[in-house]
Amino acid sequence: MAFPDWTLYFLGVVIISGGFYIYRLCRDPRKSALISGLFMRLMARTEKSLFKIAYALYTRTKLGYMFHKRQMRKARERYPTGHSKTQSTSLNGIKIIPVPILSDNYSYVVIDTASNLAVVVDPADPQAVQACLEEEGVTLEAILCTHKHWDHSGGNQALRRVYSSCQIYGNAIDNIPGLTRPVSDKDTINVGTRLHFRAFYTPGHTVGHMIYLLDGQPFGSPSSLFSGDLVFLCGCGRMFEGSATTMLSSLDTVGSLNDDTLLWPGHEYAEDNLMFAVEVEPGNVAREQKLQWVLQQRDQRLCTSPSTLGEEKQYNPFLRSHAQELHRALGLQQSQDEDWTAYRARVLEALRKRKDIYKGR
């Protein structure tokens, strides 16, 4: 299992501290043989345990926020103008602006152009988001937070200090920083005259993960889904706090939405995800066409958002747990006494494990 970037710092701390302790013990010849045997047994269990420790430190302590601030500084130095070039999308009085932050995240500024009121999704870097808001000359009314991880929630409180009337929405069970308006499944959030969102409860990546659907149909436009770390272009998030069955249910929520829905994910993972999909569905023509387009975009550092859910259903393997082609590629068959949902969850689990090994995302 490959670790996400944000765990490396904590893993280093744990490994160095543990290694120093073992070194001190091993200096005593009487204990060295005993320690050697214990160490070998410990290493068989270490990876999973270290990850749990690192994850807990990142999500539940101030060390996680300190690490996030360090990552912001490094990203600003490495990408002074952002990791990707983006452009706004206008949808009949609604303007959506992807804001590149950190090394591969996106925040989204969503503007009701009639009232000059704005909503921001996952503003992890408050400096970048505030610069966008000021450039557009709009007032921030609401923050929609998909989940608690600092690379999605790290700017909540700083922005609210600047925009005091701004409300912060998210799931209370996910411990969202600065939360003022807890939301549950199917709750609605309205800002201005055209920004009408519906929240969907989609656990799996975290226990309280939410996604937000901006309704465009009343205005003759496609709807827009802000999916956080549930669904990416040709990918899905890791199952940090849920089972494959839980994640499957959340992915099925996405799969039930209209095909023309625009997908605005939380990360620029398109190229890696599509390259992984080559391994599991090499004959997928739609995937190959999308890959060629993404390679052209990324060669110029251009943003790959949005795709559409109709496209994703054709080539995103994590939305295709029903596909026989995928089952054959994974070498899986449904057991006689296994119901369809349980089998699809097993397919999803096998697929996610293979992706974990392929790339740490």
Spatial separation of the C-alpha atoms in residues 33 and 20, rounded to whole Å: 17
Q: Check 68, 83, 152, 327 and give the catalytic one.
A: 152
Q: Check 68, 196, 267, 327 and give the catalytic one.
A: 267
CA distances from 295 to 187, 320, 361 (A): 38, 23, 18
Whether residue 68 lies in the annotated active site: no
- Which of 240, 246, 181, 173 minimizes the C-alpha distance to 205? 240
Whether residue 215 lies in the annotated active site: no
Spatial separation of the C-alpha atoms in residues 317 and 47, rounded to whole Å: 27
Whether residue 147 lies in the annotated active site: yes
Name all contacts of 180-188 with Cβ < 8 Å and 24+ positions apart. Answer: 181/142, 183/210
Q: Check 196, 229, 272, 327 and give the catalytic one.
A: 229
Q: Check 104, 122, 125, 147 and give the catalytic one.
A: 147
Number of Cβ atoms within 10 Å of the Cβ of 117: 19
Q: Check 104, 151, 174, 272 and give the catalytic one.
A: 151
Q: Check 68, 83, 196, 205 and give the catalytic one.
A: 205
Q: Check 83, 149, 196, 327 and give the catalytic one.
A: 149
Return phi, psi of residue 251, to 5°.
-65, -35
Whether residue 196 lies in the annotated active site: no
Residue identified by tokens 């799969």 is 255
Structure tokens, 29: 């010849």
Whether residue 149 lies in the annotated active site: yes
Residue identified by tokens 């944000």 is 6
Q: Using an 8 Å Cβ cutoff, are 225 and 262 in contact?
A: yes
Four-point Cα dihedral 170, 172, 177, 179, nearest 10? 60
Catalytic machinery residues: 147, 149, 151-152, 205, 229, 267
